[in-house]
A and B are shown apart, each in its own frame.
Chain A
Amino acid sequence: MSAHQPIPGTHLSTPVTTTRASFTTAIGLVIEREIMVRLTSKAFVFSTLLGVILFGALVAVSGSLPSLFASTDKVAVTSAGSVASIDGIEPVVVGSTEEAEELVRSEEVVAAVVDSADSPTGTTIIALRAAPESLSGALSLAPTVDILDPNAPDPALTRFIGLGLGLIFLSSAMTFGMTIASSVVEEKQSRIVEILLASTSARAIMFGKVIACSVLAFAQVALTAVAVLVGAAISGNDLVLGRLADPIAWFIPLFVVGFVMIAALYAAAASMVSRSEDLGSTSTPIMMLILLPYMGVVLFSDNESIMAVLSYIPFSAAVAVPMRVFMGTTAWWEPLVSLAILVVTTLLALLLATRIFEQSILKSGPKVSWKQALGRS
C-alpha cells in the first residue's frame, strides 16, 4: 500500500452524499439484519423446523392413538345378534354351548356368549379367567343416563389446553427473550453499539430488535399452528378446529401483545450488563415473571376465582384467558378487559425499557444499577 495513493472517496471534490438515515429507515435496517442473522443461522432454522414437525406430528398421531391401542377380540356366540353392535368384538358363530366352551378353553376366542334362561339378561358369558370388560359392560343392564350438557368442558382437557398454550407461550418467550438479550449484549460487548449510536438512536436499535424478534416468534408460532392444523386434518381431530377455535382466537392477540412486552423487557435487562456472563442477574426476574404465572395457570386450572385473577395479570393473561373462554366461565367483555390491561402494560413496559436501554447501553463495567438505569440522562 502506497502512502500517496489517495483513499477513494475522501477527496473534497467527491460530492458528499452522506445523510442520516431516518428513524424508520434505521429501524428497518435493524429489523432486516436481525432477521437475516437468524434465518442464516443453521441452529435457528433446524430448531424451528424440528419444533414445527414435532408439534404437527403429535397432533396427527393423537387422533389415531385410540385405534392403535384398540384390538378386535373374537367371541364365540350361539346367535350373532346379541353382540353384533359391540365395538371391537368379532363374533364367531358356533352351534352349541359346548362348542363355544371348547373354543374358549383352546383360547381361540377370548370369551363366548350363549343364551341362558337363568340369566336376567338372557345371556351368559363364558370366559377362561376373566371376561373382557367391554363385553360384560355392553351386555349388562345399565341405568338410564340423562346428559344435561353434552358440551360441558372436561377439566382434564382444560388443563391440557392450558399446558399446550402455556408451553407455546413459555418456549417462545424464553427462546426469543434470550435471543434478543444476547443480541443486545453482543452489540454492547463488542462496542459496535457506539458506532451505531453515532448514526442512529438507541430507541431505533431497541425497537428494531423487539420488532424483529416478535416477527420471528410469530412466524414460528404461525408455522407451528399450520402444522397443528394439518396434523388435525390428517387425524380427523375436530377438537382443534371446533371447540378450540374461540380460545385460540383469543390466544393470538394476547400472545402477540404479551410477547412484545416480554421482548422489550429482555432488551432492557440485557442493556444493563456488559458481558453475557452477567446476563442471568438481570434476566432472571423476567423469567420468573413468565414462569410463576404460568405455573399458577397450570396448578389452579380448576379454581375459578384464581383463574379469574390470573386472566387479568398481563403475564398470565395469554394462557388464562383462552382457558376460561374454553370453560365458558367468562362474560363477553372479560377477555377484552384482559387485552386492554395487557396493551396498557405493554406500552408502559416499552417506555420503561426504552429509558433503561438509553441509560445503560453505553455504560460498561459492572452491572448498571436500577437507580442509574432509571435516572437522569
Chain B
Amino acid sequence: MITLENIARSFGDKQVLHDLSFTIGDGRMTGFVGANGSGKTTTMRILLGVLAADAGRITVDGQPITATDRSAIGYMPEERGLYPKMPIIDQLVYLARFHGLSRHSAKRRGLELLDRLDLSGKPTDTLESVSLGNQQKVQIAAALIHRPRALVLDEPFSGLDPIAVERTLDVLTDFADTGAPVLFSSHQLDLVERLVDDLVIINQGRLVATGTADELRRQRSRPEWILEADADLAWVRDLPDIDVAEFDGTWVRFSAPDGDAAEAVLRQAMALSSVRAFAPHSVPLNRLFQEVTQA
C-alpha cells in the first residue's frame, strides 16, 4: 500500500500541487483522473522520486518510502520513449541492470516478457524497425522488466488502437491480481470506469474526490432512477423533492433523495398505467467527473 500525504509542489511562483493525499491499495487498480495540467504527471514523478516534493511525505506500508522501494516500481512515462536505434532486448537488459539485475537474468526475463506480450518481430530488431503497436509492447515490457512490486503508468492507453488497449488492460489487471498496487492516469473515462477499483480525481493540483466509483456517485450526487411506462409521465416533473434530469414522454430519468421516494414515484406510475421499466441509474463517470471538477 502506497500512501501520499499532504504533497505540495511549486514550479517557480506557480503552485501545481496543493496538500494532495491519497492511497493506492494493494491489488487495487487505482485510476488517476484530472484535466490536462491538473498535476497528474507531477504527482507521478514525485512518487517515483524523479522530482522532489516541497512538502508532504510518501509511505509504503506505513514506512517512509526508500530509494529501494522506488526502484521496485515499474514506471511508464506519458510520452513514450526508448532508444529508437537500439535493439529491443538490449534496452530491456540495460534498464533492468539499473535495478540490480544481472545481465543474464535480465535477458532471460526480457525474452520471456516479450514472448508473453506477443511481440511480433525479433528481440534483436531495433525499436524503430517495429510497428507502433509493438513499440508499445516493448514499453510495457520496460515497465515490468525488473519484477516491479507496484506499477505507475502515465496515460498507458493514449494513442493505442482498441486491440492494443485490450492487451494492455489484460496485462495490468493480471498484474493487479497478483496483489500489487497499480496507479494509472487516463483521459478515457469509459475505460477507467470499466477497469478501476478506486478513483482519485484531482483538479488544479487539489484532490477533489477519492474512493470507488460507487462511493463517489453516492457522495457526489443524488441517486437516479429510470422509469418507463405506457402512459405519459409528465406528472413526475411536478412532484416535490424529485428532480427530472431527462424526459421523453413515456420515459423519464429522475433523481430522488432516497430509495423510498423513488418507490413512491413507481407506485404512483403503476396506479396510472402499466410500467415497462424501473431501475436505478448509474451516473456515467464522465458526468461525475464534470460534476466534481466544476463544483
Closest residue of chain A to B176, judged by CB?
A10
Chain A interface bracket (under 10, 10 to 19, 20 to 34, 35 or more): 35 or more
Contacts A194-B77, A198-B49 aside, 13 further interface pairs with beta carbons under 8 A come to A1-B116, A8-B113, A9-B147, A12-B179, A18-B71, A20-B67, A20-B98, A21-B98, A37-B86, A192-B83, A194-B50, A197-B48, A198-B71
Chain B interface bracket (under 10, 10 to 19, 20 to 34, 35 or more): 35 or more
B57 at interface (Cβ–Cβ under 8 A)?
Answer: no
Contact A362/B112 with A21-B98, A194-B75 known, Cβ cut-off 8 Å: no
List B contacts of A21 (CB < 8 A): 97-100
A interface residues (Cβ-Cβ under 8 A, vs B) = 1-12, 14, 16-21, 25-26, 29, 33, 37, 186, 189-192, 194-200, 362, 372, 375, 377
Q: Are A16 and B72 in contact (CB under 8 A)?
A: yes
A7, B116: Cα distance in complex, Å: 7
- Indicate which residue in A8, A11, A195, A198 contacts B70 across the interface (CB closer than 8 Å): A198
B81 at interface (Cβ–Cβ under 8 A)?
Answer: yes
A19, B68: Cα distance in complex, Å: 6
A14, B86: Cα distance in complex, Å: 30
Closest residue of chain B to A192, judged by CB?
B81
A/B interface sample: 21 pairs, CB < 8 A? A2-B170, A3-B170, A7-B116, A12-B178, A12-B180, A16-B147, A17-B147, A18-B72, A18-B147, A19-B99, A21-B98, A191-B79, A192-B83, A194-B45, A195-B75, A195-B142, A198-B48, A198-B75, A199-B71, A199-B95, A377-B52
List A contacts of B254 (CB < 8 A): none
List B contacts of A4 (CB < 8 A): 174
List A contacts of B167 (CB < 8 A): 1
B288 at interface (Cβ–Cβ under 8 A)?
Answer: no
A4, B78: Cα distance in complex, Å: 27
List A contacts of B173 (CB < 8 A): 3
Contact A196/B81 with A7-B144, A7-B174, A362-B50 known, Cβ cut-off 8 Å: no
B253 at interface (Cβ–Cβ under 8 A)?
Answer: no
List B contacts of A37 (CB < 8 A): 85-86
Closest residue of chain B to A12, judged by CB?
B179
Closest residue of chain B to A376, judged by CB?
B12
Q: Are A16 and B109 in contact (CB under 8 A)?
A: no
Closest residue of chain B to A41, judged by CB?
B85
